[in-house]
Amino acid sequence: MPAAVADEGVILRRRNYQEADRILVILTRDHGKVSCLARGVRRPRARNAAGLDLLGRAQLLLIPGRNLYVLAQVRPLGRAERGDDPVRLACAALFAEAADGLLEEGHPDPALFELVGEHAERLLDISRPPRPGLVLALFRLAAEVGYLPALDRCMGCDRPLENRGGNFVPELGGVVQPPCVSPGGLGCEAATIRVLRALARGDFEMGRRLRWGQRLLSETEAVLVAHLRHRLDRRLLAADVLAQLVEPGVGA
């Protein structure tokens, strides 16, 4: 039997398998993103079930297999309390889904692992509002993997963006301002474009201090989701769930 390896991981995806097992996709510190078979974890009082919730962080003992690892042992790390707020859980699921889509198997990157782990903990912290946390988490993740939208120049005429509103067009990867016109864009106020540009410059502390109004939050969130959907060329299912849950003033 291959020797077991110890690593720390964050759970990005879970899928039921057979009668009582799960297949997990885990971002690990030393082995990058891996797939893992967790045997028997859906049984009542399963020994290895704790710590395997979505975005849960845990110390893992993994046995290498032919196609995927097998979970031998798990010890939860970090916060145990995550609450039952459906908006918070949808935000966490969306961040996990985006991270899973953006990151390839293998390719360990300890700094990227810490970024994902930090934002996972922030999103699940019941003392913090979830949706601003989601915006910052998605933006930092996109910046880290080189998937930021273009936010310096109008994608229609290539002139520098001005301090006014415009439309974000996912197919163009950036903002179009009048008099340029492009169908199918998302309307953005001037404040939304200013915040997006500040985040693109790496001013995430501004994002943490900001008093997020409902329109600013909704527009910024919509831009990031649309941009990632286009870059990944697939739907983000958790984004659909979040959109159904969120009403004016909910989860902000």
* 72 part of a folded domain: yes
Look up the domain containing 180 and give its range: 86-245
pTM of this structure: 0.92
* 252 part of a folded domain: no
pLDDT grade for 249, boundaries at 50, 70 and 90: very low
Q: Tell me the CATH number at 225.
A: 1.20.1440.120
- Tell me: the pLDDT tens digits for 143-179? 999 999 999 999 999 999 999 999 999 999 999 999 9
Same-domain status, 148 and 233 = yes
Cβ neighbours, 10 Å, residue 178 = 12
Domains in the chain, number: 2
Same-domain status, 178 and 219 = yes
* 161 part of a folded domain: yes
Q: Tell me the CATH number at 17.
A: 2.40.50.140
Give the N- to C-terminal CA distance of the chain in Å, as an integer.
50
Same-domain status, 183 and 162 = yes
Residues 6+ apart with CB under 8 A from 134: 91, 94, 95, 123, 221
Same-domain status, 40 and 112 = no
Same-domain status, 114 and 65 = no
Residue 172: per-residue pLDDT: 93
